[in-house]
Amino acid sequence: MGGFCGNKNILAPKKCSGEARHRGLTQNSAPGPKGADIKEFGDSESGPPLIPMIHAIEAGNKPMVAAIEGFALGGGLELALGCHYRIAHSKARLGLPEVTLGLLPAAGGSQRLPRLIGVPAALDLIITGRHVTAAEALQLGIVDQVTDHHTVDAAVKFALSVAGRPLDARRISSYSCPPVSGDLDALFEEVMRKVRRGARGAIAPVACVQAVRAAATLPYARGMERERELMATLFTSGQARALQYSFFAQRAVSRWSTPSGARWDASAPKPVRKVAVIGLGTMGRGIAVALAQAGFPVVSVETQEKQLTEAKRAVSQMLERGAKRRGVAAPLDKMSYSSNIQAVADVDLVIEAVFEDMGLKKKIFQQLSAVCKPDALLCTNTSSLDVDQLASQTRNPELVVGMHFFAPAHVMKLLEVVYGPRSSPQALATAMQLGKKMGKVSVAVGNCPGFVGNRMLKAYVEQAFFLLEEGATPELVDSALEEFGFSMGFFKVSDLSGLDVGWKVRKEDGLALPGVSTGPSARIRQGRRYSPLGDLLCQRGRFGQKTGSGWYQYGKPGGRVATPDPWLHSFLEEYRAQHGLVPRRIDPQEVLERCLYALINEGFRILEDGIAAGPEDIDCIYVFGYGWPHYRGGPMFYAAMVGLPKVLERLEHYYRAHPDVPDLQPCSLLRRLVASGSPPVQKWKEAIKKLHSQL
Ligand SMILES: CCCCCCC[C@H](O)CC(=O)SCCNC(=O)CCNC(=O)[C@H](O)C(C)(C)COP(=O)([O-])OP(=O)([O-])OC[C@H]1O[C@@H](n2cnc3c(N)ncnc32)[C@H](O)[C@@H]1OP(=O)([O-])[O-]
């Protein structure tokens, strides 16, 4: 973004001299188009103060025209709002995304935008942080003109055309907010209720509403004071640190590397022009939709005619709904369907998404290897099966990788890209790039049971079951996890996704056995403590929401409202009595420590094994695939915030109390990081490398 005044002098914000800084806050240097430099937030000495500069621009007596090209985000847009006019290129994007960084627009954005476009529209932009196109910005009244031509030329021409006109009516800070229809207090109360419900403990969206309320109810100068007070609280908060860490983590994971030395910058992806999806169950449908929405021609293969007919209708509906939401045409022409696997002969990449059955998948990979072009990439959407075994069914195992999507695949942002020992760097680079084009946060992970996300989840799930055995209820465990910021606790989630899913996996792993004898040996499988509670519910036909009962009751099959179940409580009491378990009072802190630290401990093992390249990879997986509260950064960031010595001490404590639970035994990497002074999470990768090289 550039700024121009009526006599063609170019505004050069970076050269403005510094002035007194606001107490307690880092002062941003003049913002670039992407807003303030987030990396500077920790540096209290950087840059000239932004707010006085914007005031000086607005108070100037020559017309200042902001020429907006590319992005005008955060401080960039706030600077433009200080100008008297704004002209945007048709491809420009504007927004106040501070809330996504745990902040609010604190260079007057929360005070000027509602004065310019009204309270409801400003609340929408500031609370969500969404970017708008130039066309929408024009419609909202944020910009005065949109051009398809050279923006700077258009701005200069515009500035000359308005030179000499009075400027008082162009200074947004002098406006009152346009009146709202209806009662202003009622509007803010309603918005605040919604925001608090959706925020699940995030403080920035709440502060954003409070700041806009100040704009609507206070004179500008007092509104600015309120904006500054609110920002002061946010700026130093752990939530802002976590969200800013997460911003850089998302970018760091695209610079992938593997233990064998393959790297993102040394591996060129292959071009992908056409893609096939095999299997049109829930996952296959979502993947096909996500591909078509990203502009790829997709051939979808489903051998069961009935399933194919249903899937065609469902996919078209999903595409139409998505297009309506985004205000674009539905990409129905991208989709073609077949019941014959020969239809994939000309595609560049296949994503297999059939039922999670190794025998079936092996057969499909043999067929694909025979039918596809020899250089086609063959990907599997397995969530747990061995990618290398599938690769061994093909002529070119180096062209096989896992692409583990999360349900619903067209909505969830996470993609685990799983490389096997034989996957080529180019295959990995191609899958990573495809994920990026689909708008996913793609994370490269090594091949091991459960990969990263599900491997860590196992330790967490196990603790949740053990806590029930020891005296907790599903309600107690879930409320502790929801209070922490998960949208649903573990037991509600498993009722939603179906208890039979985990049961099937446990049966295949030889863990869930028919019938349970009494005595301690009934709760030991494969040499370690095991809880058969989930299996016992499944044996009684309690699969969760779909059967009307699981860990909670739902009134009827397909019911959605979870209510505590007295039957389940007596069942737990009988179970404990049968196994000689004396229930004790368990507090929410123990629930969090047991579930989360066991999961984090497995995260350290994953880092130690080189299955994930760094803590950022694990954190992105948990934030974008497993509902970890974004404002807590991810499990590894959270461990660093709690303090590694404390995590270690608590794990040692719980392992002493439960020596038959190996997941609670602190991982040696955690011990070594603590012994080396607990470096900050951003330095772990380096520290791990150093520790590995010392072995
Ligand atoms: C009294 C107190 C006064 C306080 C004043 C407050 C002022 C204001 O309210 C606060 C702000 O503006 S808050 C800020 C509000 N602004 C935002 O939240 C905007 C955040 N940025 C974005 O959303 C995206 O970058 C874009 C959509 C702009 C471009 O997407 P794209 O084309 O896919 O590109 P990409 O891959 O994303 O980025 C390329 C490289 O640039 C890097 N980088 C980017 N922005 C950065 C920044 N602000 N900073 C630092 N670095 C930033 C990024 O890390 C990456 O580096 P790498 O080393 O290559 O990895």
ipTM of the complex: 0.96
Nearest CA to ligand 1 atom 21: 34
For ligand 1, pick from 1, 28, 34 the residue to mutate: most ligand atoms within 8 Å of CB: 34
Residue 42 and residue 187 in one domain: yes
211 lines ligand 1 (CB under 6 A): no
35 lines ligand 1 (CB under 6 A): yes
153 contacts 91 by C-beta, under 8 angstroms = no
Q: What is the pLDDT of residue 483?
A: 96
Taking each helix axis from N to C end, the angle separating 588-609 and 684-694, rounded to the nearest 10 degrees, works out to: 60
36 lines ligand 1 (CB under 6 A): yes
Residue 208 and residue 316 in one domain: no
Distance 37 CA to ligand 1 centre (A): 6
Nearest CA to ligand 1 atom 29: 34
11 contacts 30 by C-beta, under 8 angstroms = no
Distance 522 CA to ligand 1 centre (A): 55
- Give, in degrees to the nearest 5, the angle at Cα 35 between 244 and 8: 170
284 lines ligand 1 (CB under 6 A): no
- Phi then psi for residue 219, to 5 deg, are -60, 160
DSSP states of 500-532 as a string?
HHHHHHHHHTT-S-SS--SSGGGGEETTEE---
Domain span at 544? 472-578
Index of the ligand 1 atom closest to the CA of residue 254 = 60
280 lines ligand 1 (CB under 6 A): no
Index of the ligand 1 atom closest to the CA of residue 22 = 1
521, 546, 578 - which closes a domain: 578
Count of domains for the chain: 4
- Phi then psi for residue 635, to 5 deg, are -60, -35
14 lines ligand 1 (CB under 6 A): no
Q: Is residue 461 part of a domain?
A: no
Distance 360 CA to ligand 1 centre (A): 46
Distance 78 CA to ligand 1 centre (A): 14
- Phi then psi for residue 443, to 5 deg, are -125, 125
Nearest CA to ligand 1 atom 24: 34
22 lines ligand 1 (CB under 6 A): yes
- Phi then psi for residue 351, to 5 deg, are -115, 115
CA 146 remoteness from chain centre: 33
105 lines ligand 1 (CB under 6 A): yes
Index of the ligand 1 atom closest to the CA of residue 107 = 5
Distance 337 CA to ligand 1 centre (A): 41
Q: Is residue 185 part of a domain?
A: yes
427 lines ligand 1 (CB under 6 A): no
Per DSSP bridges, beta strands 64-68 and 2-5 are: antiparallel
Collect the ranges in the chain with pLDDT lower than 70: 1-31, 42-48, 515-520, 695
Q: Is residue 242 part of a domain?
A: no
For ligand 1, pick from 38, 126, 616 the residue to mutate: most ligand atoms within 8 Å of CB: 38
Index of the ligand 1 atom closest to the CA of residue 131 = 27
Residue 556 and residue 600 in one domain: no
Q: What is the pLDDT of residue 1?
A: 55
The span from the CA of 30 to the CA of 33, in Å, is 10
Residue 440 and residue 495 in one domain: no
The first and second tokens of residue 200, run together, are 């699940």
208 lines ligand 1 (CB under 6 A): no
Q: Is residue 243 part of a domain?
A: no
Q: Which of 582, 591, 597 is nearest to 645 (CA)?
A: 597
522, 557, 578 - which closes a domain: 578
579 lines ligand 1 (CB under 6 A): no
Residue 607 and residue 573 in one domain: no
* Non-local CB neighbours of 552 within 8 Å, separated by 6+ positions: 474, 491, 492, 495, 562, 563, 564, 565, 568
The span from the CA of 629 to the CA of 127, in Å, is 17
The first and second tokens of residue 275, run together, are 């893609």
- Phi then psi for residue 132, to 5 deg, are -115, 155
Q: Is residue 256 part of a domain?
A: no
Q: Is residue 561 part of a domain?
A: yes
382, 416, 451 - which closes a domain: 451
Per DSSP bridges, beta strands 414-419 and 400-405 are: antiparallel
Residue 496 and residue 437 in one domain: no
Distance 32 CA to ligand 1 centre (A): 9
According to DSSP H, which parts of 549-628 are helical? 566-578, 588-609, 615-625
Q: How far apart are the first and last CA of the chain?
A: 51
Nearest CA to ligand 1 atom 60: 251
Instruction: Look at residue 208 and give its three-state secondary structure.
Output: helix
320 contacts 292 by C-beta, under 8 angstroms = no
The first and second tokens of residue 566, run together, are 């007295």
Index of the ligand 1 atom closest to the CA of residue 231 = 2
112 lines ligand 1 (CB under 6 A): no
Q: Is residue 262 part of a domain?
A: no
Residue 203 and residue 275 in one domain: no
The span from the CA of 89 to the CA of 667, in Å, is 54
Residue 566 and residue 667 in one domain: no
Distance 130 CA to ligand 1 centre (A): 14
Q: What is the pLDDT of residue 18?
A: 29
Residue 620 and residue 572 in one domain: no
Residue 509 and residue 602 in one domain: no
Q: What is the pLDDT of residue 520?
A: 67
Q: What are the CB-based long-range contacts (under 8 Å, 24+) for 467-470?
A: 467/586, 467/590, 467/591, 467/594, 467/595, 468/531, 468/533, 468/572, 469/523, 469/531, 469/533, 469/575, 469/576, 469/579, 469/581, 470/581, 470/583, 470/584, 470/586
33 contacts 70 by C-beta, under 8 angstroms = yes
Q: For residue 306, give the CATH number of its domain.
A: 3.40.50.720
Element (H, E) at 120: helix 119-128
DSSP code at position 165: S
Distance 34 CA to ligand 1 centre (A): 5
Element (H, E) at 400: strand 400-405
Q: What is the pLDDT of residue 510?
A: 87
38 lines ligand 1 (CB under 6 A): yes
Distance 80 CA to ligand 1 centre (A): 17
28 lines ligand 1 (CB under 6 A): yes
The first and second tokens of residue 626, run together, are 């497993």
If one counts every other C-beta atom within 10 angstroms of the C-beta of residue 274, the result is 17
398 lines ligand 1 (CB under 6 A): no
Q: For residue 510, give the CATH number of its domain.
A: 1.10.1040.10
CA distances from 493 to 243, 461, 501, 557, 659 (A): 25, 11, 12, 16, 28
Q: What is the pLDDT of residue 30?
A: 61
Residue 395 and residue 476 in one domain: no
* Non-local CB neighbours of 393 within 8 Å, separated by 6+ positions: 362, 365, 366, 369
3 contacts 83 by C-beta, under 8 angstroms = yes
74 lines ligand 1 (CB under 6 A): yes
If one counts every other C-beta atom within 10 angstroms of the C-beta of residue 77, the result is 33
- Phi then psi for residue 10, to 5 deg, are -80, 130
* Non-local CB neighbours of 467 within 8 Å, separated by 6+ positions: 476, 477, 586, 590, 591, 594, 595
What residues act catalytically?
A: 78, 98
Index of the ligand 1 atom closest to the CA of residue 228 = 1
Distance 43 CA to ligand 1 centre (A): 16
Distance 244 CA to ligand 1 centre (A): 10
Nearest CA to ligand 1 atom 16: 35
The span from the CA of 398 to the CA of 557, in Å, is 46
Residue 549 and residue 647 in one domain: no
* Non-local CB neighbours of 2 within 8 Å, separated by 6+ positions: 10, 11, 66, 67, 69, 151, 152, 155
Q: Is residue 249 part of a domain?
A: no
625 contacts 453 by C-beta, under 8 angstroms = yes
